[in-house]
Amino acid sequence: MPLTQKIATYCAVVPLFVTTHSVKQPLFLVPESQLLQKLAKRDEQAFQWLYDQYAYVLYGVVLVIVEKPNTAAQVVEDVFVAAWADFDTYVPRQGSFLTWLLNRARLAAHASINQQEADQLPGNSKDSTEVDNLMADEHRILLHKLYFCGQTADQLAASIQLPPQKLRRLLQATLQELKHVFSR
């Protein structure tokens, strides 16, 4: 644990000096722009690309939220089918396609579990070990709660007893740190 803390501190401090770097693009075989063109046609290859590129990340995120592999598979299945049908409602101007898919998947995952189960989630125990080493503990737990536990900002503010303005500053620090982690 001291080692983790040391790394976490290191990560929290060092990014201050690399603020000008841009965030790394996720590496995919097919650029998003090409995939979108293909998807407009809805052909077999479009689905192959879509599945190959995004199934792992969607399944992984949903699994963290719902915990059960069977439920996760079902949620991902529904998300793909719905996205396939609703693709025309995606507006590239408002964000990347992956973010659009992730948000849908998270919503669907949260909808599939009931609130009591969500509350019972132990917070950071299911987090990826890589992230463990990347960020300050406080920020990591906060991010996990927001991203995977479906907690709203208000719920979060209440649970950690912070005024909304302070919570906003905390979120800012968290996300800026995340940004710097992926800038390196």
Partner 1 sequence: MNIPEYIDSGILESYALGAVSDQERREVQCLSAIYPEVRQELDKLTLALENYALLHSTEPPPDLQDRIRNRLTMGAPAQPTTNDEPAADKGAKVVPLHREVPTFQVAWVAAAAVGLVLIAFAYFLINQLKTKQAYADELAQTNSRIQTEVGQLKQQQQYNTQLISLLQTPGVETVRLAKANPAGAQADLIVYWNKADKQVTLQVESLPALPADKQYQLWALVGGKPVDAGVFSTDRQQLQRTARTIAAAEAFAVTIEKVGGSPTPTLSTLLAMGKVG
d(CA 140, CA 125): 11
Question: Which of 4, 5, 9, 99 touches partner 1 (CB under 8 A)?
Answer: 99
Question: Which of 5, 9, 16, 26 touches partner 1 (CB under 8 A)?
Answer: 26
Q: Could you say whether residue 131 binds partner 1 (CB under 8 A)?
A: yes
Of the pair 2, 163, the CB lying nearest partner 1 is at 163
DSSP the chain: -HHHHHHHHHHHHGGGGGTTSPPPPPP-SS-HHHHHHHHHHT-HHHHHHHHHHHHHHHHHHHHHHH--HHHHHHHHHHHHHHHHHHGGG--GGGS-HHHHHHHHHHHHHHHHS-HHHHHH--SSTTS-HHHHHHS-HHHHHHHHHHHHS---HHHHHHHTT--HHHHHHHHHHHHHHHHHHTT-
Q: Could you say whether residue 69 binds partner 1 (CB under 8 A)?
A: yes
Which segment (4-12, 64-72, 116-124) binds partner 1 by CB under 8 A? 64-72
Query: In the stretch 150-179, what mask flags binding to partner 1 with x, by CB under 8 A?
Result: --xx--x----------xxx-xx-xxx-xx
Neighbouring CB atoms inside 10 A of 108's CB total 19
Cβ neighbors of 17 (< 8 A, separation 6 or more) are none
Q: Could you say whether residue 10 binds partner 1 (CB under 8 A)?
A: no
Question: Which of 14, 18, 23, 111 touches partner 1 (CB under 8 A)?
Answer: 23
Question: Which of 90, 112, 149, 160 touches partner 1 (CB under 8 A)?
Answer: 90
Q: Please report, as ranges, the residues that interact with partner 1 according to CB under 8 A.
A: 22-26, 31, 33-34, 36-37, 40-44, 47, 51, 55-57, 59-61, 63-64, 69, 72-73, 76-77, 80-81, 84-85, 88, 90-96, 98-99, 102-103, 128, 130-131, 143, 146-147, 152-153, 156, 167-169, 171-172, 174-176, 178-179, 181-182
